Structures are given as structure tokens and as C-alpha cells.
Amino acid sequence: MLYFIGLGLGDAKDITVKGLEVIKGCSRVYLEAYTSILTVGKEALEEYYGRELLLADRDMVEQEADEILKGADVSDVAFLVVGDPFGATTHSDLVLRAVNAGIQYRVIHNASILNAVGCCGLQLYSFGETVSIVFWTDNWKPESFYDKIKGNRDMGMHTLCLLDIKVKEQSMENLMRGRKIYEPPRFMTVAQAAEQLLEIVQNRREQGEELAITEETVCVGLARVGADDQAIQAGSLREMASCDLGGPLHSMIITGHLHPLEVDMLRLFSGPESLKGLKMTGSSTYIS
């Protein structure tokens, strides 16, 4: 059996009892190591689980999947994923490879950012399409995520923005020279994401477009959701560009229409002036 096991969002103890029992009985245990991170490292997981973990980076999962599947038809193999196995990043390709090889699989779910984000007080059923915000470079500045945010805002829906992670990335020079030298890990902050969005807002304004969001749109920044030092801050997009929520991982929400209870919850995480851009429309909805 090939087991896909979610680890949750905080530390080693967030694994389910069922997941931990399975890990202890597997012949090999892989830790997917490129779509997300926990607040603790591989060594802490190994100590708590009582098992050696084999790191599965992007190259292994995408190009050497047969190595993971090897022997899973006659023994149990576990593939560990931070959050939920089918949360922000799916591993459908590995499932299909297992099925095509005649290997049974089973999924043990856990919390992911897609549901834990409700900790800020916004109602989960009021979220639209989730978007990813990537690191810009000097000559590559995609804006497609803005258009998805606009689509959600047009429907009054909130947008969860998952922020870029760069793990085991090579510089262009090392890539071209075939050198296996990797850049230090980078994790996008809420402030960096907000700065990019502010630049897009200005670009669209100069192009004469009707804006989906402005500098005063109410946003929520979140860091290390599920950990003991979880941080949440609500305020305008302009304020998000100067906030410091500490270490990774960060995510950000662009709000849509807000129910009064959602506004009351956001006030728990904002300064006295941070939500001043809200306006009431109708009898029970706020917009910014």
C-alpha cells in the first residue's frame, strides 16, 4: 500500500493518531520537501515519529517517482505531505502512477491552510478561487493572479493568496552550467506580496482600467497558521506592505463582501484605524 499522509500545519505533534500508526509500520517513509514546511525540521519529525525520513524533493517526485513506488506492492510505503495531501498542491500524478502499477493507495487527511485560514474570522464558504503569488524577477512580472482576484471580488468573494516558496532552486548560471549548486531557500512575506499587488494596482490605474482593488482594500496577513506563534494582522493593502509578521510561512487574504460578524472578528487583529476604509452596502454587508 502507498499511503499519502497529511502532517497538518504546526509541528510534529499535528499528525493524526492514524497517520502516526501507519508511519511506524511502513518499510520506507518519504517527506515531501518542496511545497510547504513545518515550523520544525526533519530531525524533529524523525525523533517524534521514531523513523528515518527520506527527503523527496521536486526532482524525485516528478522525475524519479518509480523510486518512491518501488516495493509498495509488497510492503507499506508512506509519502508525507505538510498540510493535507490534496490541499494546495495535489499529488495526483503519483496516485495515477501507483494505480497504473497495480499498487493500492490510501489517503490520511489533515488540516491545510485551505480550511485553517478560517482562524482569522472570515467565513470559509465566502472564499472564491485560491491564487498563488509568485516572486517577480527583473524581467518577469506576471499579473495573472490579479485578474483572478478581480473575478472573486466581482462576486463578493474573498481570495486566499498562497505566497511563493523557493526551495532547492538554481541560479540561471548554475543551471546552464549543469552545476548542482542551489540557492538559499526563500519564502515570500505578506509585505512582499502586498508590494507586488500595489505595483499592479498602479499599472492598471495608468492603463485606465476600473480597479478591482485599491490601496485601501482590506486584507488579512497570516503567518505560521497552526503554530504556537501564529500571527494575524488585518488592515489595508497599503498597511500590509509594511507589516512584519515574522518567519515563514505567510499567506494573505484579499477580502470581498464582509458580514458584520466577519468585521467584528477582523477587529481582533487590526489597529483602531486599520478598517476605516470599510463602507456598508445594504443592511448587512461591508465592502472596501
Annotated binding-site positions: 9, 84, 87, 112-113, 163, 225, 250
The grid cell for 118 is 478560517
Nearest in space to 217 (alpha carbons), one of 254, 243, 261: 254
Alpha-helical (H) ranges within the chain are: 17-24, 42-49, 58-63, 65-69, 92-100, 113-116, 144-154, 172-177, 190-206, 237-240, 260-267
Q: How many Cβ atoms from other residues are within 10 Å of residue 115's Cβ?
A: 13
Binding-site entries for S-adenosyl-L-methionine: 9, 84, 87, 112-113, 163, 225, 250
Q: How many Cβ atoms from other residues are within 10 Å of residue 197's Cβ?
A: 25
The answer for residues whose C-beta is within 8 angstroms of residue 81's C-beta and 6 or more apart is 4, 5, 6, 7, 32, 35, 36, 87, 91
- What DSSP string describes 101-167? TT--EEEE----HHHHGGGGS--GGGB---EEEPPPBTTB---HHHHHHHHHHHTT-BEEEEEPEE-
Tell me the β-bridge partners of 267. Answer: none
252 three-class SS: strand
Measure CA of the first residue to CA of the last residue in the chain; give whole Å.
50
